[in-house]
Structure 1
Amino acid sequence: MMSSKTRWEIPKSPIQKHYEKGFLLVVEKPPGIPSHATFDPNRPNLEDLLRKQEKNPSLRLVHRLDLDTSGLLLACIDPTQNKEADKILSESEKTYICITRGVPSQKEFRVECFLKDGKGRVSSVRSGGKKAITDFKILSSNPEKGISILAAKLLTGRRHQIRFHLSMVGTPILGDETYGESFREKKKHLVPEPNRFLLHSYLLQFKNEFQEEIRIVSKLPSDFESYLHFFSGLRFPE
């Protein structure tokens, strides 16, 4: 077992592009790199790396993924179309795949609450927060190992939404030390310890400026693949 989490370096290969047409670009975010610039001006971030790669200083990531989250991100390459890109994202379908500790009590379920940002994490509040809604579906589970693999469909897009919602129902994402018990505090390790929390932006569907329905699926990264043999009868959203 690994005793500490490793961090990822700057991607050595070009950032993978899944889609490019009109003013929209969909790329693959590796885990371990911020989506946007941080307080540290020397810290690499995906948006700046993509601007350099595409030789387009006006390129903008339309949304963000957490540091450890991998997968699909939408970008706008034309600053005059930023509002339209935001609208397209707001009407899009976004589905994530995650591996959780524990087995949810229902095969399909919805979690909703009001979330408020705090220092490094979010919390559920009765007032002053923003509505957060996620639909979940168990794709497979392994009660003996105490893990499940789920599809999570965002109906809203709040910070840490999926991570917090799964923690709320008692099945935090595997490797999430912010909203779940530290793996190293577990007395019994039933599966290998991940190097990050296992959350992947898997599917993005939207209607582009030409009124074409675009559906993009991102292959699960290698660290996810190493857990798939724990599950049977897996069928991923298509």
Structure 2
Amino acid sequence: MSYSQPISSAVHTLNIESGYDGQRIDNFLINYLKGVPRSLVYRILRRGEVRVNKGRIKANYRLRTGDQVRIPPVRMAEKDTQERVDSRQLDRLEKAIIFEDKRLLVLNKPSGVAVHGGSGLSFGVIEALRQLRPEERELELVHRLDRETSGCLLIAKRRSALRTLHELMRSNGIDKRYIALVQGHWGRDRIEVDAPLLKNTLQGGERMVMVDPRGKESVTRFSVRERMAELMLVEARLMTGRTHQIRVHAAHLGTPILGDEKYGDASANRDMKAAGLKRLFLHAETLKFRWPDEKQDQVFRAPLEPALEELLQRLRVKSA
């Protein structure tokens, strides 16, 4: 099920069908207004030019069956000017698929690849997968990972699957575990961080997140997997899903993630770069959930890239 391409020169209204129930309005518009820059989609949302049931909404509004969505005139890009992902990148992502069935695709997302194109990026994971799977008309991201974070990323292949997975996320029914290499040591092996996070945009346009009582509730459960000289390999379980949550909470504890250029320690990052760390050491290792009415959990595990495994081995030898 899909809507036809919009007429760009006139305001038009859509009646939302059941297959789109629960989808965020920004993701719906990015997919519907093919060829329109993501920056423009967010601009018309901020300005209130997109209305739902005659009212203004935010980008994170979730659609409901029967909603009336007013879309303003927008300038569509010519199809032949849209950039296509080169074959090397497509091959890289094809090899990164760790599971696929009729409902779902699970990717071990490489570090350095954004989930969405835009903001100076010619493509993201979702654009590349749509090019890889042109017959799949309903591919949508279930959640997001930072560009520099690697690991398990869920992509729904059916609207019904997307709706179910979003419901599971809202009810904390998807268990997401990350591993990170951090600078420093804690006095105990398990720590729960309950610290609200607030988004800020700096003068240069850079987005930063900070612990602030005005922010949204944010909870991360950390546990130590391995201690090395002045370092720890830790597991982080997300109890909420805020932007940069693990990175900010780790830094809040005084143990920033190594390779984190935004929230990390510059001196420690330089030392680790000399030791061979070329990226943020944060990896979405496992995802676990159960489809409604099924008896067994679905569990997905994304292995660390070889360069990170080799780094860990060198650090173990050094700290032995």
TM-score range, shorter-chain basis? 0.7 to 0.9
> How much does 1:22 deviate?
4.1
Q: Is the 8 A contact 2:276 2:311 kept in 1?
A: no
Match of 1:207 in 2: 290
Quote the residue 2:63 is aligned against.
none
> Following TM superposition, by how much is the alpha carbon of 1:104 offset from its aligned partner in structure 2, in angstroms?
2.1
Kindly indicate whether the alpha-carbon contact (under 8 Å) linking 1:24 and 1:85 is maintained by their aligned counterparts in 2: no
Higher alpha-carbon Rg: 2
Q: Where is the helix percentage greater, Structure 1 or Structure 2?
A: 2
How far did residue 191 of structure 1 move?
A: 6.5
In the TM superposition, what is the alpha-carbon distance from 1:57 to its structure 2 partner?
Answer: 4.1
- Secondary structure of the structure 2 residue equivalent to 1:157: coil
SS at match of 1:227: helix
The CA deviation at 1:81 is: 4.0
Tell me the equivalent position of 2:122: 43
After TM superposition, the structure 1 = structure 2 runs for residues 210-229 of structure 1, keeping only pairs within 5 Å, are: 211=294, 212-229=296-313
Q: 1:156-188 CA distances to partner (integer Å, 9 max, x unpaired)?
A: 1111000001000111001111111224776x6
* Counterpart-to-counterpart distance in 2, 1:189 and 1:33: 22
Q: Is 1:96 paired with 2:178? A: yes
Task: Assess, with a 3 A threshold, how the Cα gap between structure 1 residues 191 and 231 changes in structure 2: closer, same or farther.
Answer: farther
RMSD (CA atoms): 2.3
Amino acid at match of 1:160: H
Q: Which residue of 1 aligns with 2:54?
A: none
In the alignment, structure 1 residue 166 sits paired with structure 2 residue 236:
no
Change in CA separation of 1:185 and 1:24 when aligned onto 2, cut-off 3 Å: closer
Q: Following the alignment from structure 1 to structure 2, what is the Cα–Cα distance between the partners of residues 49 and 173?
A: 29
Contact 1:11 1:30 in 2 (8 A): no
Residue by residue over 1:196-224, the C-alpha shift from the partner in whole angstroms, topping out at 9 and shown as x without a partner, is 11000001001125523111111111221
SS at match of 2:225: strand
- SS at structure 2 position matched to 1:118: strand
Counterparts in 2 of 1:213 and 1:227: CA distance versus 1, 3 Å: same
- The counterpart of 2:195, out of the listed 98, 113, 117, is 113
Contact 1:98 1:200 in 2 (8 A): yes
Q: Which runs of 5+ in 2 are unaligned?
A: 1-87, 202-206
The equivalent position to 2:237 in structure 1, one of 153, 157, 166, is 153
- Secondary structure, in 3 states, of the residue corresponding to 1:111? strand
Residue of structure 1 equivalent to 2:101: 21
Identity rate of aligned residues, in percent? 28
What corresponds to 2:316 in structure 1?
231
Q: Give the number of equivalent residue pairs.
A: 219
1:67 match: 147
Q: Could you state the TM-score of these two structures normalised by the residue count of structure 1?
A: 0.83
Amino acid at match of 1:157: G
